[in-house]
Amino acid sequence: MSAVAGEPVALITGGAGFVGSNLAQRLLSEGRRVLVFDNLSRAGVRNNLRRLQELHPDRLEIQVADVRDPGQVLQAVSRADEVYHLAAQVAVTTSLESPLEDFEVNARGTLNILEAARKREPAPLVVFTSTNKVYGALDDIALLKTAGRYVPANLQVRENGIGESRPLDFHSPYGCSKGAADQYVLDYARSYGLPAVVFRMSCIYGPHQFGNEDQGWVAHFMIRARENSPLTIFGDGCQVRDVLYVGDLVEAFVLARQNIATLAGRPYNIGGGPHNTLSLRGLVERLGEQLGLRPSIRFAPWRTGDQRYYVSDTRRFSQATGWRARVAPSEGIERLHNWLTQTTAVATSRPRASVEAHP
């Protein structure tokens, strides 16, 4: 099937990345025409994109471009009735080293998306992936250390997690750039009536993720353990996160599209919630059991903006859409392990795949 003149597309910025390629696969399988907008700068993304091209050659379009280029953004958004804005600089450490670049990608890049969406008639749906880092270090939440993990002293926080009513407290340049973008998206919904929604996401993991020390820690730990390489833990390893399997996140995107009339203009915390939590030490133990070895660990000092405890309270989104996390960490980690086993090599050792881009 060739492109139809004027046929709208589902635009995914960062669409060749981990989350973007999983979302693209879902939308393409539903019969949507998808435009992947990506600068292909992250390791492994060319392989993700090549896979999509092989599976959906007739419905996939590719625009190799950067969200910092307003002209390229306008060209892409002008064709879209849905925009999933995932492209970002994703590492706190990188933001500390290059705060101007971090701002240009995350804040200015998002503003380029919003301006292009505002100029399109009718305005497209916009889903923006923000971060739990907008809530800061959460130092005021009293924590107990038990069984190798932190737990909140407050029973309500322990049972439900961190809700959207939590005051914003941007830490690190990354927290500031993503937080500014988060607020711009919400204000464009308020000021211009843009049908936009913000996902403040916790830790996402699953197939097609090539994690590193700065981002994607579940996959990073598994890849390092499989290579029998030492794992570096920043802090004491008792820090806790809720983890969400990527397929459950993709389902949340689909539900956001279906319920945008009631969701628009609000932020939603999206993660595995209190029933899907892992400490760093706990993940290492799971990997040791799964791989039949004891991973070597080395410890390093706490990093700027590190949260000792963050678990998403997802009740607002669940009550609005019926969504819930369905894949338990034990099952999701097994799926990630199986995918890595079937993959010939991780992104850093793969040859660069050729990608055919379409304007």
Distance of CA 347 to the CA centre of its chain: 18
Question: Across the chain, what does the average pLDDT equal?
Answer: 91
Q: Answer whether 9's CB lies under 8 Å from 79's CB.
A: yes
Chain segment 308-357, per-residue pLDDT in tens:
999 999 999 999 999 999 999 999 999 999 999 887 444 444 444 334 44
Evaluated on CA atoms 215, 326, 222, 51, the torsion sign reads negative
pLDDT-derived band at 213, boundaries 50, 70, 90: low
Q: Which of 150, 174, 188, 245 is catalytic?
A: 174
Residue 41 pLDDT greater than 60, yes or no: yes
pLDDT-derived band at 6, boundaries 50, 70, 90: low
Residue 169 pLDDT greater than 90, yes or no: yes
pLDDT at 295: 85
pLDDT at 13: 98
pLDDT-derived band at 217, boundaries 50, 70, 90: confident
Chain segment 225-244, per-residue pLDDT in tens:
888 889 999 999 999 999 99
3-state helix/strand/coil string of the chain: CCCCCCCCEEEEECCCCHHHHHHHHHHHHCCCCEEEEECCCCCCHHHHHHHHHHHCCCCEEEEECCCCCHHHHHHHHCCEEEEEECCCCCCHHHHHHCHHHHHHHHHHHHHHHHHHHHHCCCCCEEEEEEEHHHHCCCCCCCEEEECCEEEECCHHHHHHCECCCCCCCCCHHHHHHHHHHHHHHHHHHHHHCCCEEEEEECEEECCCCCCCCCCCHHHHHHHHHHCCCCEEEECCCCCEEEEEEHHHHHHHHHHHHHCHHHHCCCEEEECCCCCCEEEHHHHHHHHHHHHCCCCCEEEECCCCCCCCEECECCHHHHHHHCCCCCCCHHHHHHHHHHHHHHCCCCHHHCCCCCCCCCC
Q: Answer whether 114's CB lies under 8 Å from 188's CB.
A: yes
Is 135 annotated as catalytic? no
pLDDT at 351: 40
Evaluated on CA atoms 59, 60, 62, 66, the torsion sign reads positive
pLDDT at 76: 98
pLDDT at 348: 42
Gap between the Cα atoms of 117 and 36, Å rounded: 16
pLDDT at 288: 87
How far from 279 is each of 151, 156, 242, CA to CA, in Å? 10, 20, 9
Chain segment 313-323, per-residue pLDDT in tens:
999 999 999 99
Chain segment 48-73, per-residue pLDDT in tens:
999 999 999 999 999 999 999 999 99
Per DSSP, what are the bridge partners of residue 310? 241
Gap between the Cα atoms of 130 and 164, Å rounded: 12
Gap between the Cα atoms of 359 and 352, Å rounded: 21
Mean pLDDT, rounded, for 248-263: 98
* Structural domains of the chain sorted by starting position, each given as residue range(s) with its CATH number in brackets: 9-349 (3.40.50.720)
Q: What percent of the chain stands above pLDDT 90?
A: 79
How far from 180 is each of 174, 184, 198, 279, 312, CA to CA, in Å? 10, 6, 12, 29, 20
Q: What is the CA radius of gyration of the chain?
A: 20
pLDDT-derived band at 305, boundaries 50, 70, 90: confident
Of 77-81, 176-180, 215-219, the one with minimum mean pLDDT is 215-219
pLDDT-derived band at 131, boundaries 50, 70, 90: very high
Mean pLDDT, rounded, for 99-120: 98
Mean pLDDT, rounded, for 242-257: 98
Per DSSP, what are the bridge partners of residue 162? 312
